[in-house]
Amino acid sequence: MKKIFVTGSEGFIGSHLVERLVKNNYKVTALVKYNYKNDIGWLRHLDPKILKRLKIVSGDITDYDFLQKHTKNMDYIINLAALIGIPYSYKAVKSYIDTNIIGTYNILKVTQNNKVKKTIHTSTSEVYGGNHKKPIKEYYQNYAQSPYAASKIGADQLCISFYCSFNCPVVIIRPFNTFGPRQSNRAIIPTIINQLISSNKLNLGNVNTSRDLNYIDDTIEAYIKILKSTKNTNGEIFNVGSGFNFSIKKIAEMLIKISGKKVKINKQKIRLRPKKSEVNFLLADNKKIKKIIRWKPKYNSYKKIHLALIETYKWFKNNRDKYNFEKDFVE
């Protein structure tokens, strides 16, 4: 049984990935960020049969000694731990550097020292910025329009440098806008859904930006395909996106229709990014991962993504007890 160490396992993508890995008979050690409540995040809602097969450890990727100890004898590492909220990155730049860059450095060092066979590092489509021809290919120049994007570019470049300099077996996966059950309240789709469920108001920022939407099941499948691939993918970067693009306005209108409510969209200044920091348009070119890894999204049409939005809306509506909607989103 292959041993795998997953950071950020308590989060949105991490919890889905851990669940899938256990079902695929990997021996999973799930790292959750230490907190005084000993809260294991979304892992606590997994099937008890899955939880029973997990080894859960609390710690922090900024702690090198901790990582060195817990990644001994691991076959694989998947790094999902990161600070992700773009608005918060304007206020806490140093925290993003510490977690996203120094944390990634620690992951790369233990990959080397413990002779891990493959490490998958999680990037973000935000590293591209908004000044590119579309669709966006992996080799396009990065352009940091937020401290968050800058920290992720720094982490990605560390991965590339460790591969080039030390032949470190690291692969970079670059998900575009993944959505689905368990997603963070800070993301745009839960923001919209939670307001529609909790009130008759819908307060948003810039609704003219567009994003490539990728359903969670497809994103998880990309991790599994990269993990299982027998091809030498070390040093490679893979975009993971559906190749279908929606404006925030269009997403909101679709979800309003799904909710059955009559709601107007209100633009709030407080929700706007600084003008030069806004990434206006993201659309993935996913030809590389299709060709090399043989991954392709199942939710690969506007109709199928609409169905995924319906499922996501239903999940949030049926799991209100797991979120504090009103406090976080409704003003």
**Which residues form the domain of 158?**
3-180+215-244+279-299
Mean pLDDT of 275-290: 95
Instruction: Give dist(CA 23, CA 34) in Å, integer.
Output: 26
Q: How many CB atoms lie within 10 A of CB 35?
A: 11
Residue with tokens 């009130």: 199
Amino acid found at 51? L
Which residue has better confidence, 16 or 325? Answer: 16
Which residue has better confidence, 22 or 321? Answer: 22
Q: What local confidence, expressed as pLDDT, does residue 324 receive? A: 55
Judged against a pLDDT cut of 80, whether residue 330 lies above it is answered with no
327: pLDDT confidence band, cut at 50, 70 and 90?
very low
CATH number at 64 reads 3.40.50.720
Mean pLDDT of 185-204: 93
68: pLDDT confidence band, cut at 50, 70 and 90?
very high
Mean pLDDT of 159-163: 98
Could you tell me the CA-to-CA distances from 102 to 99, 151, 152, 155 in Å, in that order? Answer: 6, 10, 11, 8
- Could you tell me what percent of the chain has a pLDDT over 70? 97
85: pLDDT confidence band, cut at 50, 70 and 90?
confident
- Could you tell me what percent of the chain has a pLDDT over 90? 88
Mean pLDDT of 184-208: 93
Judged against a pLDDT cut of 90, whether residue 185 lies above it is answered with no
Residue with tokens 């950020």: 8
Q: What local confidence, expressed as pLDDT, does residue 269 receive? A: 87
In a domain, 48, yes or no: yes
Kind and range of the H or E element at 270?
none
Instruction: Give dist(CA 17, CA 227) in Å, integer.
Output: 12
In a domain, 293, yes or no: yes
In a domain, 326, yes or no: no
Residue with tokens 């959505």: 179
In a domain, 320, yes or no: no
In a domain, 258, yes or no: no
How many structural domains compose the chain?
A: 1
Instruction: Give dist(CA 188, CA 177) in Å, integer.
Output: 10
In a domain, 38, yes or no: yes
132: pLDDT confidence band, cut at 50, 70 and 90?
confident
Judged against a pLDDT cut of 50, whether residue 329 lies above it is answered with no
Average pLDDT, the chain: 94
Judged against a pLDDT cut of 90, whether residue 328 lies above it is answered with no
Query: 289 forms bridges with which residues in the sheet?
Result: none
In a domain, 324, yes or no: no
In a domain, 16, yes or no: yes
Q: For 250-271, how does the pLDDT look when each residue is reduced to its tens digit (9 = 90+)?
A: 999 999 999 999 999 998 988 8
